[in-house]
C-alpha cells in the first residue's frame, strides 16, 4: 500500500510538472497567477512545481508585467534556448538533418542528396548518421542538452516490440520492415538513453503545422503532404488518428479513377498517380510529347522534380497549352481528393502542405476549392477552411523534432 501511495504522489507530481510545462511551452510567457487561474492547481502547488522546474533549468523568469494595484507579476517561459532537438526528414530525393532549439528554431542544417532515391536503406542510414554528428559538432551544443532525435520517413511506422524498435514499411519506396530506430542509433553513435523516434513524414509535418503553423487552434483538421508522393495527417480531437496498424492517412492511395493511371503502390487510379510531383511531371511529358506543347513549353530534361514542377508552372504562365491542361486536371483531382476528406472527416480545416503542395497550391488553390465545393456535401463544405501550409517546404524535419520535444514535455525533464 505504502509503495503504491508513493507512486501515486510521484505520478501526480510528474503530471503537474508536465501540465505547467506544456502550458508555458504553448502559451508562455505567463505569470504564476495566470497558471493558477487557468489550471485546477492551487497557488501552493504552482509555486512548488515552478520552483522545481526553474531548479531543473526547464523554466526561466523573463521579466515582469504590472498588475492592478499589486506587485508586478514575474513572467515565466520554458527555457527553450537551453535545450535542443534534432529533426530528420528522409525525403525521396534527399536527407535533411536539422538541429533546433526546444521551440524549434533552426540552428544548423545538413542536407544530403540521394541521387538514386531513398530506396537504398544503407545509404539513407549512413547520411542520417553523418548528418546527426555534423549538426551536433557545428552547433557546438552539449550532448546532455539534446532531448532526442526524431525521424520522418515515407512509409508506415510500426512499433512492434515496444518503443525501442520502430520498424518502417515503405511499400512505394521498397522498404520492407526496416528497423530504422536501431540503425540510426548505431550509425550516429548515439548514447543508449537518448530517445530516437521514427514516424511517418506526413504525420510529423502535420504535428509541426498543428503546433506552429496553419493548423494552430484547430481540433479536427487534415494536414496534407504533397511531394513526390502524397500523404496526410488526420487530426481528430487534437491528436493524429493512426488506425489499427498505424497506416491511417494514406490519402495518396485512395482511388480517384477506377482503372486509372498505374500508381507506385501497385494499384491503379490513386490520387498520388495524378497529383504527386512525379505524376504531374510524367503527365506533362506525355501531354507535351502528344503535341500539345506550344513554343512556350517547358524543357524538363536534366531538372530535378522541384525545378521541373516550377518549369511547368512557368510554362503555364507563358501560355503553354500542355501545362495548362495538366495543371487544370491536377486541380480537379486534388479538389476531388479534398472533397473526399471533407465528406469522410468533416474537418474544420484542411491544410495543403509539402513542397509540391505549396508550389502547386499557390497557383491552383482557388480552383481546387471550387472543385471541392462541387463534389463535397454542402454543409460540411461550408464549415471547412482550406489553406496552404505556413511552415515552408522543410516542415517534415521540424515536425520530426516535435516527437522528442513532445516526449520531453511529457516526461518533464532531461534524461
* 172 versus 204: smaller Cβ distance to Zn ion: 172
Number of residues near Zn ion (by CB under 5 A):
5
* 109 versus 264: smaller Cβ distance to Zn ion: 264
* 263 versus 323: smaller Cβ distance to Zn ion: 263
Nearest to 219 by CA among 232, 228, 227, 210: 210
* 139 versus 269: smaller Cβ distance to Zn ion: 269
Out of 20, 90, 168, 270, which residue is the one contacting Zn ion (CB under 5 A)? 270
- The answer to whether residue 235 forms part of the interface with Zn ion (CB under 5 A) is no
Tell me the C-alpha distance between 234 and 215, whole Å.
11
**Is 151 in contact with 88 (CB distance < 8 Å)?**
yes
Q: Least distance in Å: CB of 117 to Zn ion?
A: 17
How buried is residue 194: exposed, middle or buried, by Cβ count under 10 Å (0-12/13-18/19+)? middle
Q: Among 32-40, 268-276, 299-307, 323-331, which window interacts with Zn ion (CB under 5 A)?
A: 268-276
- The answer to whether residue 156 forms part of the interface with Zn ion (CB under 5 A) is no
Classify each residue of 347-358 as buried b or exposed e, where b means 16 or more C-beta atoms within 10 Å of its C-beta.
bbbbbbbbbbbb
Q: Least distance in Å: CB of 266 to Zn ion?
A: 7
Nearest to 405 by CA among 83, 93, 3: 83
**Is 261 in contact with 289 (CB distance < 8 Å)?**
no
**Long-range contacts at 290-299 (CB < 8 A, ≥ 24 apart):** 290/322, 292/321, 292/322, 292/325, 293/320, 293/321, 293/322, 294/319, 294/320, 294/321, 294/322, 296/320, 297/322, 297/323, 298/323
Tell me the C-alpha distance between 22 and 288, whole Å.
53
Q: Among 33-41, 43-51, 253-261, 298-306, which window interacts with Zn ion (CB under 5 A)?
A: 253-261
- The answer to whether residue 173 forms part of the interface with Zn ion (CB under 5 A) is no
Q: Least distance in Å: CB of 270 to Zn ion?
A: 3
Q: Least distance in Å: CB of 333 to Zn ion?
A: 13
Sign of the CA dihedral running 347, 276, 393, 332: negative
Can you say how many angstroms the Cα of residue 235 is from the centroid of all Cα atoms in its chain?
12
Q: Among 63-71, 264-272, 305-313, 322-330, which window interacts with Zn ion (CB under 5 A)?
A: 264-272
Q: Least distance in Å: CB of 30 to Zn ion?
A: 46
Please state, in angstroms and as integers, the Cα–Cα distance from residue 395 to each residue in 63, 180, 373, 378, 384, following that order: 32, 21, 28, 32, 23
Q: Least distance in Å: CB of 271 to Zn ion?
A: 8
Q: Least distance in Å: CB of 408 to Zn ion?
A: 36
Q: Least distance in Å: CB of 265 to Zn ion?
A: 3
Out of 49, 128, 157, 263, which residue is the one contacting Zn ion (CB under 5 A)? 263
Q: Least distance in Å: CB of 262 to Zn ion?
A: 9
* 270 versus 288: smaller Cβ distance to Zn ion: 270
Tell me the C-alpha distance between 198 and 166, whole Å.
6
Residue written as grid cell 549512413: 126
- The answer to whether residue 275 forms part of the interface with Zn ion (CB under 5 A) is no
Out of 253, 293, 349, 398, which residue is the one contacting Zn ion (CB under 5 A)? 253
Radius of gyration, alpha carbons of the chain: 23
Q: Which of residues 29-58 bind Zn ion (CB under 5 A)?
A: none
* 78 versus 153: smaller Cβ distance to Zn ion: 153
Strands 106-113 and 196-200: unpaired
- The answer to whether residue 265 forms part of the interface with Zn ion (CB under 5 A) is yes
Please report, as ranges, the residues that interact with Zn ion according to CB under 5 A: 253, 263, 265, 267, 270
Amino acid at each position: 500500500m505504502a509503495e503504491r501511495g508513493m507512486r501515486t504522489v510521484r505520478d501526480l507530481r510528474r503530471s503537474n510538472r508536465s501540465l505547467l510545462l506544456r502550458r508555458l511551452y504553448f502559451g508562455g510567457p505567463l505569470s504564476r497567477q495566470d497558471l493558477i487561474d487557468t489550471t485546477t492547481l492551487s497557488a501552493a502547488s504552482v509555486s512548488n512545481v515552478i520552483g522545481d522546474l526553474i531548479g531543473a533549468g526547464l523554466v526561466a523568469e523573463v521579466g515582469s508585467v504590472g498588475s492592478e494595484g499589486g506587485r508586478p507579476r514575474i513572467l515565466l517561459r520554458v527555457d527553450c534556448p537551453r535545450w535542443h532537438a534534432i529533426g530528420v526528414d528522409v525525403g525521396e530525393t534527399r536527407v535533411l538533418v536539422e538541429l533546433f532549439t526546444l521551440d524549434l528554431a533552426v540552428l544548423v542544417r545538413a542536407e544530403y542528396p540521394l541521387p538514386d532515391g531513398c530506396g537504398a536503406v544503407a545509404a539513407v542510414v549512413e547520411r542520417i548518421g553523418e548528418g546527426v554528428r555534423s549538426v551536433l559538432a557545428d552547433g557546438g551544443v552539449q550532448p546532455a542538452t539534446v532531448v532526442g532525435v526524431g525521424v520522418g520517413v515515407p512509409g508506415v511506422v510500426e512499433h512492434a516490440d515496444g518503443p525501442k524498435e520502430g520498424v518502417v514499411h515503405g511499400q512505394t519506396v521498397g522498404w520492407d520492415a526496416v528497423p530504422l530506430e536501431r540503425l540510426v542509433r548505431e550509425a550516429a553513435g548515439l548514447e543508449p538513453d537518448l530517445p530516437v523516434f521514427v514516424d511517418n513524414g506526413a504525420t510529423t509535418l502535420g504535428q509541426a503545422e498543428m503546433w506552429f503553423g496553419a493548423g494552430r487552434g484547430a481540433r479536427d483538421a487534415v494536414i496534407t503532404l504533397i511531394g513526390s508522393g502524397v500523404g496526410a495527417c488526420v487530426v481528430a480531437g487534437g491528436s493524429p488518428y493512426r488506425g489499427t496498424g498505424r497506416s491511417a492517412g494514406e490519402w495518396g492511395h485512395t482511388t480517384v479513377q477506377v482503372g486509372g493511371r498505374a500508381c507506385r503502390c501497385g494499384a491503379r487510379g490513386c490520387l498520388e498517380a495524378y497529383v504527386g510531383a512525379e505524376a504531374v511531371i510524367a503527365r506533362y511529358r506525355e501531354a507535351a510529347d502528344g503535341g500539345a506543347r506550344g513554343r512556350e513549353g517547358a524543357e524538363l530534361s536534366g531538372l530535378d522534380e522541384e525545378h521541373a514542377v516550377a518549369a511547368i508552372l512557368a510554362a503555364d504562365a507563358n501560355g503553354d497549352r500542355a501545362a495548362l491542361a495538366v495543371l487544370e486536371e491536377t486541380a480537379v483531382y486534388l479538389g476531388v481528393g479534398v472533397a473526399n476528406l471533407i465528406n469522410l472527416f468533416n474537418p474544420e480545416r484542411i491544410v495543403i502542405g509539402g513542397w509540391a503542395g505549396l508550389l502547386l497550391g499557390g497557383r491552383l488553390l482557388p480552383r481546387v476549392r471550387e472543385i471541392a465545393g462541387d463534389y463535397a456535401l454542402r454543409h460540411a463544405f461550408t464549415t471547412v477552411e482550406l489553406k496552404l501550409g505556413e511552415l515552408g517546404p522543410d516542415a517534415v524535419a521540424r515536425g520530426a523534432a516535435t516527437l522528442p520535444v513532445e516526449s520531453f514535455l511529457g516526461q518533464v525533464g532531461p534524461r
